[in-house]
Amino acid sequence: MRLVEQGFELDLCVRESPREWSRVEKCDLILTLGSDWSVYWKSVSREVQAELDLLVTAASRGVPIFAICFGAQVVAHAFGGTVLPASRLEIGWHQVFSSEYPHELQREWFQWHGDEFTAPRNFKVIAQNQNCNQAVLGPRVFACQFHPEATPAMIARWMALGAADIARTNLKPHQLFESVVARASATETSAARLVDWFLNHSNST
């Protein structure tokens, strides 16, 4: 992972166990990842609220936040945006467009989500596609709907758990997985470029 290559030590915090999370003042950066939850589910409202509080506290202290998929939806919800069911399920490779940061953001990224978000106040939409917002940028906060961190091993797990989602699309599972393997190296390179850009951006603001 590029953050480790850049000198960060990762402290795994399980979303279901907020009482075990590290204290914000001990963190140099918050990385919040995906989930099969939706932020508006009442069944996980306690856990979602804990994450909202964490992100608001981190932002108030100037701790950089890098948020992916569900994490991006939590960011939107935490800072005044909205999260709602998407008009269509996005799974697989989807083109993302960015006029402001094309080198870092404009390419096909792997997606797996059924919700979408709007940008909070003081955040700027910096990437989109025909379906929804794909990335927003706020003060030391970057949130993206796509999965720059996706690896073949990760996608294999998601496919095993998300067969019902795939069945709602026209995708063929074996072809989808083969495409992930074929693009693994390029995805890793693009993810590293994105992380480097975010670290430089957060250090300059």
pTM of the model: 0.95
Identify which of 64, 100, 46 has the alpha carbon closest to the alpha carbon of residue 199.
Answer: 64
Distance from C-alpha of 127 to C-alpha of 98, rounded to nearest angstrom: 5
The pLDDT of residue 198 is: 96
Distance from C-alpha of 129 to C-alpha of 137, rounded to nearest angstrom: 16
Distance from C-alpha of 153 to C-alpha of 123, rounded to nearest angstrom: 33
Q: Residue 195 sits in which domain range?
A: 2-204
Beta-strand ranges (E) seen in 69-155 are: 83-96, 107-117, 124-128, 133-138, 141-144
Is the pLDDT score of 136 beyond 80?
yes
CATH classification at residue 49: 3.40.50.880
Residue 113 contacts residue 150 (beta carbons within 8 Å): no
Is the pLDDT score of 205 beyond 90?
no
Is the pLDDT score of 144 beyond 80?
yes
Tens digits of per-residue pLDDT, 161-204? 999 999 999 999 999 999 999 999 999 999 999 999 999 988 87
The pLDDT of residue 180 is: 97
Tens digits of per-residue pLDDT, 80-131? 999 999 989 999 999 999 999 999 999 999 999 999 999 999 999 999 999 9
Is the pLDDT score of 44 beyond 90?
yes
Number of domain units in the chain: 1
